[in-house]
Amino acid sequence: MTSDAPLLVIDQGTTSTRAIIFGPDGDVRGVAQRELPQIYPAPGWVEHDAMRIWQDVQAVVRDALAAAGTAAAEVAGIGITNQRETTVVWDRATGQPIHNAIVWQDRRTASICEQLRQKGAEELVRQRTGLLLDPYFSATKIAWLLTHVPGAEDRAARGELAFGTIDSFLVWKLTGGRCHVTDATNAARTMLLDIRTGRWDPELQRLFAIPRGLMPTVVDSAGVVGHCLPELFGAAIPIAGLAGDQQAATFGQAAFAPGMVKSTYGTGCFALANTGEIPVRSENRLLTTIAWQLDGRRTYALEGAIFVAGAAVQWLRDGLGVIGQAAETEALARQVEDTGGVYLVPAFTGLGAPWWDPEARGAIVGMTRATGVPQIARATLEAVAYQTRDLMDAMIADGIPTPQALRVDGGLSVNDWVMQFMADILDLPVERPSVTETTALGAAFLAGLAQGVYRDLDDVAGRWQRERLFEPSMAPERREALCGGWDIAVRRVLTS
């Protein structure tokens, strides 16, 4: 194997499944993608057909290899990155899921969380897992599947069933059921892992009534866990990297030093700050999570999640119908000097970090007869920056030193106007990399690290390239006035 051998990444996201062939410098040689249908069986419920995901993975891998003109035998390794927390339980004998996957957004287990909270379980969960007791994470989703699928509890007790997040399910399928593993970053999102030791926690397993036999083995984020069946793509390619998508993006941004922060702007926004080898407990309702595990050593991160970022731009397009394409918002925002005091708080599905107010709903405040589409479009974009500022303030209040810069990626990060406004509001340089497929790139870096394509983290960091730097240039008084207005607008939508 030469060090310029390509890497194959499977990026299994909430709304699509993609495969990308990367050269060692992060150059994209071939891409294939399939949209994933969302299943909404009841209000607040979201499911995926896990077998459909598996079929799509096979199809996109074949198509990406063909698009790149790469034979499977040339590929140095496979990296898998995935939507996190989404829960699959399958039969070990047949490999068939016992039910649709329950997606991270699904709220059906809110009452289970409430009952556990009343029993005083929240502190144990926070201490061991770094997470909040919330339906977002896998544990209560597994419990729901075991109690609602007929016979599942007995089958699980007999060791006939397996649980996994999407990474785990895909490795099982790719290896023909030989490997039942998950990496530490995905394991950290189940609410069953003691993030300090990197091991499943027996007390939490009892709390959620999850039998031990269900659980995968926790492995490093970089390292060969097995090989895909040769009949799938024409060669037994090593599966060499696994990571949840937000952690993979952090790795793809080469945010290796403690204090470095990345923020990914897609439908929502996820900001992660590297805290080094110490899991920092948040006093500001951020999550503590594993950023990656290499050679058994864990690096930790503080994470803030915003539910609506690009989704608000989609709402301008599909809900209000005032734009035809997301990119039009940039010209609209530039048409006016300011929003004229208008703020849009996009709490369409409640507010995430640091507020965690599920009952809050969206609002546009401060409108006058002079308010038009440009002001509302601009306020929608400005909200992305204000929400990021709230996350950064929470991180700094939790003891993270003010970072030197914010590294950004994701679909919305192509909007130059937002990125400049972000730099101004954060009073921080904003760096956009030349490869914006940062999530997939991170999985390629992990697989390449395992396979000797990269020597070490310094070698990986050397491949990261900045495309553009946005320097803050706003007068402090203006920043303070704008942020003060945002704080008032948020207070108007909070329910408690």
Ligand X SMILES: O=P(O)(O)OC[C@H](O)CO
Residue list, annotated binding site for sn-glycerol 3-phosphate: 14, 84-85, 136, 245
Residue 80, H or E segment: strand 77-82
CA dist 322 and 250 (Å) reads: 34
**Is-contact 74 152, C-beta < 8 A?**
no
CA dist 69 and 85 (Å) reads: 34
Distance of CA 254 to the CA centre of its chain: 16
User: CA dihedral defined by 424, 389, 191, 50, rounded to 10 degrees?
Assistant: -50
CB of residue 331 to ligand ADP, shortest distance in Å: 10
Q: Taking CB under 6 A as the criterion, which residues in 240-269 touch ligand ADP?
A: 266-267
Which is closer to ligand ADP, CB of 232 or CB of 440? 440
Q: Most distant CA pair in the chain: distance in Å?
A: 68
Tracing tokens 């399910």 back to the chain, one arrives at: 169
Chosen from ligand X, ligand ADP, none, partner binding at 124 (C-beta under 5 to 8 Å by type): none
Which is closer to ligand ADP, CB of 97 or CB of 410? 410
- Binds ligand ADP (CB under 6 A): choice among 411, 429, 459, 472: 411
Q: Which residues contact 52 (CB under 8 A, 6 or more apart)?
A: 36, 37
CB of residue 292 to ligand X, shortest distance in Å: 15
Residue 326 is a binding residue for ligand ADP (CB under 6 A): yes
326-342 burial: b if 16+ Cβ within 10 Å, else e: bebbbebbeebeebbbb
How far are the Cα atoms of 62, 67, 227, 241, 356 from residue 234, in angstroms, in the given order? Answer: 10, 16, 12, 20, 47
Q: Taking CB under 6 A as the criterion, which residues in 260-319 touch ligand ADP?
A: 266-267, 310-311, 313-314
Residue 90 is a binding residue for ligand X (CB under 6 A): no
Residue 282 is a binding residue for ligand X (CB under 6 A): no
Chosen from ligand ADP, ligand X, none, partner binding at 374 (C-beta under 5 to 8 Å by type): none
- Binds ligand ADP (CB under 6 A): choice among 412, 428, 440, 489: 412
- Binds ligand ADP (CB under 6 A): choice among 373, 414, 457, 483: 414
Which is closer to ligand ADP, CB of 192 or CB of 406? 406
Residue 51 is a binding residue for ligand ADP (CB under 6 A): no
Both tokens of residue 467? 């495309």
**Is-contact 80 44, C-beta < 8 A?**
no
Strands 287-294, 466-470: pairing kind: unpaired
CB of residue 15 to ligand ADP, shortest distance in Å: 5
Which is closer to ligand ADP, CB of 403 or CB of 410? 410
**Is-contact 280 300, C-beta < 8 A?**
yes
CB of residue 411 to ligand ADP, shortest distance in Å: 2
Residue 434 is a binding residue for ligand ADP (CB under 6 A): no
Q: Taking CB under 6 A as the criterion, which residues in 244-263 touch ligand X?
A: 244-246
Chosen from ligand X, ligand ADP, none, partner binding at 411 (C-beta under 5 to 8 Å by type): ligand ADP
CA dist 193 and 199 (Å) reads: 6
CA dist 451 and 435 (Å) reads: 21
Q: Taking CB under 6 A as the criterion, which residues in 327-346 touch ligand ADP?
A: 327, 329-330
Chosen from ligand ADP, ligand X, none, partner binding at 306 (C-beta under 5 to 8 Å by type): none
Burial of 182 (0-12, 13-18, 19+ CB in 10 A): buried
Distance of CA 228 to the CA centre of its chain: 25
Alpha helices in 373-465 (DSSP H): 373-397, 416-426, 438-450, 457-463
Closest C-alpha among 489, 457, 448, 259 to residue 361:
489
CB of residue 13 to ligand X, shortest distance in Å: 3
Count of residues near ligand X by CB under 6 A: 11
Which residue is nearest to ligand ADP, using beta carbons?
Answer: 411
Positions at the binding site: 14-16, 18, 84-85, 136, 245-246, 267, 310, 314, 411, 415
Chosen from ligand ADP, ligand X, none, partner binding at 490 (C-beta under 5 to 8 Å by type): none
Q: Taking CB under 6 A as the criterion, which residues in 1-40 touch ligand X?
A: 13-14
Chosen from ligand X, ligand ADP, none, partner binding at 313 (C-beta under 5 to 8 Å by type): ligand ADP
**φ and ψ at residue 407, rounded to 5 degrees:** -95, 125
Strands 238-244, 77-82: pairing kind: parallel
Chosen from ligand ADP, ligand X, none, partner binding at 104 (C-beta under 5 to 8 Å by type): ligand X
Which is closer to ligand ADP, CB of 310 or CB of 352? 310
- Binds ligand X (CB under 6 A): choice among 79, 252, 266, 433: 266
Both tokens of residue 64? 């990406």
Residue 84 is a binding residue for ligand X (CB under 6 A): yes
Positions at the binding site for ATP: 14-16, 267, 310, 314, 411
> At residue 79, what is the residue type?
G
Q: Which SS3 state, helix, strand or coil, does residue 132 take?
A: coil
* 479 C-beta neighbours (distance < 10 Å), count: 16
Q: Which residues bind ligand ADP (CB under 6 A)?
A: 13, 15, 266-267, 310-311, 313-314, 326-327, 329-330, 410-412, 414-415
Q: Which residues bind ligand X (CB under 6 A)?
A: 13-14, 83-85, 104, 244-246, 266-267
